[in-house]
Amino acid sequence: MNDPLYEPLIYELGAPGRTGVTMPTAPFPATPLPAGLLRDELNLPEVSEADVVRHYTRLSRQNFGVDTTMYPLGSCTMKYNPRLNEAMAHLPGFLEPHPLQDAATVQGSLEMLFNLQTWLSELNGFTATSLQPAAGAQGEFTGILMVRAYHRSRGDTARDTILLPDSAHGTNPATSSMAGFRVVELPTDGRGNVEMDALKANLGPHVAAMMITIPNTLGLFEEQILEVARLVHECGGLMYADGANMNALMGIVKLAELGFDVMHYNLHKTFSTPHGGGGPGAGPVAAGEALAPFLPGPIVALDETTSPPSYVYAMPAQSIGRLKAFHGNFGILVRAYAYLRAHGPAELRAVSENAVLNANYLRVKIGQAYEIPYDRICMHEFVAEGKLDEEGIRALDISKRLIDYGFHPPSNYFPLGTPHTTLKVHEALMVEPTETESLQTLDRYAEAMIAIRQEAREEPELLRGAPHNAPVGRVDEVYAAKKLVLCRAIPEIA
């Protein structure tokens, strides 16, 4: 503490009785908390408002975020989150109602939910949408439970298998086995599509559904999707689309028209809700005629028998039930609604066109210095090889060095090329720039990547020791994950 350069933690500041707030006197008598709920020994600092503001502002500056830097974390769609969404989500009419309030008293909120359901159905040509699931993975789980309920309702209980390409997002196999299915992984061909012979060899009356991440985790569009859907349907299976990465497809293609029966969205990705750090999110599920009756509820319906028509909660006829308390993560739904209204159909299409353009621009530029294992027109993201054998450099070294250049790293080691999979990428650098980055920023990013490739040849130690100018250097990631320490030791306050 005698070191003048030492920045004290908030736990080391403060003085007894110092405070940042003045609580009003309660207009009712104090009620003591039930015994046992209060801890006697709780060393909380007593600090001023300024100390608190500085504490959190300093912490925020030690991290990367979409508001400070380009954040091309593949598959995560870390686009800019318009402040308009925040303003809308904070309107008192949206913020203050209680979820148990009578539907008649929250007609505006229900109208918003109803419109959002309608637009999300329309965007991919589906019949109905449920806004309940709280994240992409929960949306997948919902969709696969609906698949199971559909087959059971027809007395078809032999279908115990979900087919998955090995280019699927990791949540897809996890979802399938959590829902009680057997997972059969299909290999990928040299162009990054599912291998058709392997698909044909695995079809039959045991197939409940095929689950496809589209675009897949190589950032590629499945070129034979119409034929894949035809074959799966022919054997009585259903088609599930992992639509978490809609940022490539909005207004360009409708998944229902490609043959999909059910899909989920990630509103916190494509529809610009701040995410990362674990939530909250929203993973609505949209379904066609066959699966719509199985959607989780309640959903919002329009009752036209009343005058004027009113919005009501309704349970789909053969609903799998509830997936989430109340009405999903309502604040996220408001943000997505605001995003959709602010853009409108033509601009949504432009969002996807620009996301694809930006990714392809970077693919070609970065491809001058790095191997691109599947070098064809990509969708919203692409994968570069991060394992440089000659220099003994790994994807992690490149990513950590990018931090020194002021950029958030791309996704690493995902998708995974292992002897287990057929993917011809060893250590993926999965880059997703999104549409909200300018040409100048894309150029700066590409130049940093190219400079790092040069450093790998001339000064590889620079990469292995990176990051050099971050508040925290290279950590042992396995140790960090197993022995999580969320703050420095809290010293006793004298």
Ligand X SMILES: *Cc1c(COP(=O)(O)O)cnc(C)c1O
From 132, 171, 193, 358, residue interacting with ligand X (rule: CB under 6 A): 171
From 47, 88, 135, 163, residue interacting with ligand X (rule: CB under 6 A): 135
The tokens describing 129, both together, are 């949408």
Q: With respect to ligand X, which residue has the nearer C-beta, 75 or 422?
A: 75
Q: Within 10 Å of residue 476's Cβ, how many Cβ atoms?
A: 9
Determine the distance from the C-alpha atom of residue 168 to the mean position of all C-alpha atoms in its chain, rounded to a whole number: 14
> Per CB under 6 A, does 72 bind ligand X?
no
Q: With respect to ligand X, which residue has the nearer C-beta, 283 or 328?
A: 283
- We find the least distance from the C-beta atom of residue 460 to ligand X, in angstroms, to be 32
Q: Within 10 Å of residue 9's Cβ, how many Cβ atoms?
A: 15
Site stretch for ligand X (CB under 6 A), options 30-38, 135-143, 182-190, 249-257:
135-143
Site stretch for ligand X (CB under 6 A), options 133-141, 156-164, 246-254, 354-362:
133-141
From 151, 169, 324, 335, residue interacting with ligand X (rule: CB under 6 A): 169
Determine the distance from the C-alpha atom of residue 6 to the mean position of all C-alpha atoms in its chain, rounded to a whole number: 38
Site for ligand X in 197-216 (CB under 6 A): 213
> Per CB under 6 A, does 242 bind ligand X?
yes
> Per CB under 6 A, does 328 bind ligand X?
no
Q: With respect to ligand X, which residue has the nearer C-beta, 213 or 412?
A: 213
- We find the least distance from the C-beta atom of residue 411 to ligand X, in angstroms, to be 9
Site stretch for ligand X (CB under 6 A), options 134-142, 185-193, 254-262, 355-363:
134-142
Q: Within 10 Å of residue 357's Cβ, how many Cβ atoms?
A: 13
Site stretch for ligand X (CB under 6 A), options 16-24, 238-246, 363-371, 388-396:
238-246
Among 302, 246, 241, 242, smallest CA distance to 271 is for: 246
Q: Which residue is nearest to ligand X (CB)?
A: 136
- Sign, Cα dihedral of 339, 341, 342, 346: positive
Residues 477, 482, 485: CA angle, nearest 5 degrees: 85
Site stretch for ligand X (CB under 6 A), options 82-90, 107-115, 242-250, 442-450:
242-250
- Respond yes or no on whether the N-terminal peptide bond of residue 133 is cis (omega within 30° of 0): no
- We find the least distance from the C-beta atom of residue 390 to ligand X, in angstroms, to be 32
DSSP 393: B
Q: With respect to ligand X, which residue has the nearer C-beta, 220 or 448?
A: 220
Q: With respect to ligand X, which residue has the nearer C-beta, 281 or 293?
A: 281
> Per CB under 6 A, does 281 bind ligand X?
yes
DSSP characters for 470-484? Answer: SSS----HHHHHHS-
- Sign, Cα dihedral of 132, 138, 140, 146: negative
Q: How many of the chain's residues bind ligand X (CB under 6 A)? A: 13
Q: With respect to ligand X, which residue has the nearer C-beta, 332 or 466?
A: 332
- We find the least distance from the C-beta atom of residue 26 to ligand X, in angstroms, to be 41
Strand order in the sheet with 128-130: 128-130, 285-287, 262-265, 238-243, 207-213, 161-165, 182-186
> Per CB under 6 A, does 466 bind ligand X?
no
From 66, 244, 383, 423, residue interacting with ligand X (rule: CB under 6 A): 244
Q: What are phi and psi of 414, to 5 degrees?
A: -150, 120
Residues 483, 485, 488: CA angle, nearest 5 degrees: 145
Among 126, 108, 89, smallest CA distance to 300 is for: 108
From 64, 66, 72, 75, residue interacting with ligand X (rule: CB under 6 A): 75
Site stretch for ligand X (CB under 6 A), options 240-248, 285-293, 408-416, 437-445:
240-248
- We find the least distance from the C-beta atom of residue 247 to ligand X, in angstroms, to be 10
DSSP characters for 48-91? Answer: -HHHHHHHHHHHHHTS--TTTS---BTTS------HHHHHHHTS
Contact residues toward ligand X (CB under 6 A) are 75, 135-137, 169, 171, 213, 242, 244-245, 266, 281, 283
